[in-house]
Amino acid sequence: MMRKLCSALLICLAASACSETTKVSDDLEQSQTDAGNPTGRVEREGASPGERPVRIGEGGPRFEACQGAGRVANLRGNEELAVLIAPFASAESKDSLQAGQFLHICSRSLDQQWMGVVYSPAPAEGEEAIDCGVSTPVRSKRNYDGPCKSGWVESAFVKLVAG
Q: What is the pLDDT of residues 87-137, one digit of tens each?
A: 999 999 999 999 999 999 999 999 999 999 999 987 777 777 788 999 999
Per-residue pLDDT, 125: 76
CATH number, domain 55-162: 2.30.30.40
Query: Sorting pLDDT into bands at 50, 70 and 90, what band is 25?
Result: very low
Q: What does the alpha-carbon distance between residue 5 and residue 2 come to, in Å, rounded to a whole number?
A: 5
Per-residue pLDDT, 14: 53
- Buried-state track 54-71, b at ≥16 Cβ within 10 A, e below 16: bbbbbbeeeebbbbbbbe
Predicted model pTM: 0.68
3-state DSSP percent of the chain in helix, strand and coil, to 5: 20, 25, 55
- Asked if residues 153 and 103 have their Cβ atoms less than 8 Å apart, the reply is yes
Grouping H, G, I as helix, E, B as strand and the rest as coil, residue 71 is strand
Per-residue pLDDT, 13: 52
What's the average model confidence in pLDDT over 135-153?
93
Q: What does the alpha-carbon distance between residue 69 and residue 63 come to, in Å, rounded to a whole number?
A: 14
Sorted by where each begins, the domain ranges of the chain are: 1-34, 55-162
**Least reliable range by pLDDT among 12-21, 50-59, 145-154:** 12-21
